[in-house]
Amino acid sequence: MYIAMNRFKVKKGSEDAFEKVWASRDSYLDRMPGFVEFHLLKGPEAQDHTLYASHTVWQSHASFDAWTKSEEFRIAHSRAGNETTGSLYLEHPKFEGFEVKQTLTHKAAVA
């Protein structure tokens, strides 16, 4: 398993617009072999921003790499700009990728 995350420092007061952009965009992730799940995470607030992270889970790093080289990736990200909202971020998003080394699940969730 591979987890890909982007961290966003969203300007104070732009949280609703940021969430609407994500909720209304077509990601095409569900078309991609190896895609498992996506989460948009809202984190702590600072004085000038709120931290968000996009979090995707993939069956493998190779599946994620294939996504980043796909036409679906290009289309999804061409519509992810701030054309109608202006800049929502304090800085460029920060990417972090992780190979999963251990997974624990709640026994009741597995049954």
- Look at 12 and 91; give whichever has higher pLDDT: 12
Q: Has residue 109 been placed in a domain?
A: no
**Parent domain of 79:** 2-99
Q: Is the pLDDT of residue 107 over 90?
A: no
**Residue 100: band (very low, low, confident or very high) from pLDDT cuts 50, 70, 90:** very high
The helix (H) or strand (E) run that includes residue 56 is strand 49-58
Q: Which two tokens stand for residue 30?
A: 């569900």
Q: What pTM did the predictor assign?
A: 0.83
Say which amino acid occupies 52. Answer: Y
The CATH number of the domain holding residue 91 is 3.30.70.100
Query: What is the Cα–Cα distance from 22 to 58, expressed in whole angstroms?
Result: 19
Q: Is the pLDDT of residue 111 over 60?
A: no
Average pLDDT over residues 77-84: 60
pLDDT in tens, 19-55: 998 898 888 999 999 999 999 999 999 999 999 999 9
Q: Has residue 111 been placed in a domain?
A: no
